[in-house]
Amino acid sequence: MAGSEGRADVVVLRGRPDDVELAALVAVLAALRNSGAPVEELPPPPAPWTRPARYRGAGAWNAR
């Protein structure tokens, strides 16, 4: 699916894709995975979730 200028066209799938569209998507994703593009640095893992200091649970609403 290359355009006349050599660029790849982007097609947005909406609704229920048929087998040809799914096969094309899987092929593109496999090519990206196997391309071996260098990764500069992995992003840091997200910080663990903690409650805010003044958090009070649902019981706080019942106590009023």
DSSP string, 24-38: HHHHHHHHHHHT-PP
Q: What is the pLDDT of residue 10?
A: 67
State pLDDT tens for residues 3-60: 456 667 766 667 888 888 889 889 988 888 888 767 678 778 878 877 667 766 676 5
User: Which positions ≥6 away from 25 have C-beta within 8 Å?
Assistant: 13, 17
* Domain range list for the chain: 10-35
Structure tokens at 49: 């979730």
SS3 at position 17: coil
pTM for this entry: 0.39
